[in-house]
Structure 1
Amino acid sequence: MRLIITTAITALFSLAAQAETPVDFQNRFATQAQQENPAFTGFSVERGKQWYASTHGREWSCASCHSSNPAAPGQHATTGKVIGPLAPAANPERFTRADKVEKWFKRNCNDVLGRPCTAQEKGDVLSYLLTIR
């Protein structure tokens, strides 16, 4: 019985250690951006705000589904499915799991841009989202 309890406690601590914060992802994106572009000097909230609202020459922007207010719920432009707020202050589960962050950036960047986002783009958008209260 002790072994089962010890194993369960160890597993819980392991899960807690894997939890990440939005700032962890911002730091990771900064490291990647520096590797992609040695002239990288940092992220821009204003650039992230503009990027979030822009259609980039295509049909959708981030705001098309996530709403113009990232602290409010959104709705998928095609399916109508309700989407929880994107801003971490309004939805504490956002940007806490690497698998979800990578999955959704991959899918959504492809929808919005038709290509993967750069680390600079991800970091700019996240920097903007972190200012939303």
Structure 2
Amino acid sequence: MNASTWKPAAAAALLALTASVAQATTAAELLAGYGRQSGQAPQAARGQQLFSQRHGGEWSCASCHGMPPSREGEHAATGRRIAPLAPAFNPRRFTDEAKVEKWFRRNCRDVLARECTSAEKADVLAWLMSVQP
């Protein structure tokens, strides 16, 4: 590879790396962002209630993620194993904002028949972060 082709390739690789690092986050950063978006202080008790109750449908969040969310869960329809949801029991949880948004969108539609609000996301995440060993 000569200098004229490697510079663009190196720049593209650096851009891809920067983009992936920019998506890396922490549960606390996500919680703060959802709290800012909603304009409300997150409430763990509301999050636990939202997570554990059915909302007119067949499933609750706990139907697949388990209760408590410190243990491995199992998808109610497919039987696929699901790693613990609480960040204290699974440090990889809530570290990629794009994945978090994807799963909130999908799971909220399954459980609530709509997307979750920023306040609901903040509440659930505040409760999940309160679950400790």
TM-score bracket for this pair, using the shorter chain length: 0.7 to 0.9
**Residues of 1 paired with 2:92 and 2:42: CA distance?**
22
Q: Compute the displacement of 1:125 (Å).
A: 0.3
* Alignment partner, residue 32 of structure 1: 37
SS at structure 2 position matched to 1:30? helix
Q: Compute the displacement of 1:10 (Å).
A: 5.0
Q: Compute the displacement of 1:16 (Å).
A: 3.9
SS at structure 1 position matched to 2:130? coil
Q: Compute the displacement of 1:11 (Å).
A: 6.5
Identify unmatched segments of 5+ residues in structure 1: 35-39
* Alignment partner, residue 117 of structure 1: 116
Question: Which residue identity lines up with residue 112 of structure 1 in the other structure?
Answer: V
Runs of 4+ in 1 over 3 A off after TM superposition: 9-13, 15-18
Alignment RMSD (CA, Å): 2.1
**Residues of 1 paired with 2:22 and 2:110: CA distance?**
32
Q: Is the 8 A contact 2:64 2:74 kept in 1?
A: yes
SS at structure 2 position matched to 1:130? helix
* Alignment partner, residue 57 of structure 1: 56
Question: Which residue identity lines up with residue 28 of structure 2 in the other structure?
Answer: V
**Residues of 2 paired with 1:13 and 1:81: CA distance?**
31
SS at structure 2 position matched to 1:32? helix
Q: Which has the larger radius of gyration?
A: 2
Question: Which residue identity lines up with residue 45 of structure 2 in the other structure?
Answer: E
SS at structure 2 position matched to 1:87? coil
TM-score, with length taken from structure 1: 0.84
Residues paired across the two proteins, number: 127
**Residues of 2 paired with 1:115 and 1:12: CA distance?**
33
* Alignment partner, residue 23 of structure 1: 28
TM-score, with length taken from structure 2: 0.84
- Provide closer, same or farther for how the CA distance between residues 74 and 44 of structure 1 changes in structure 2, counting only shifts above 3 A: same
* Alignment partner, residue 102 of structure 2: 103
Identity of paired residues, percent?
A: 46
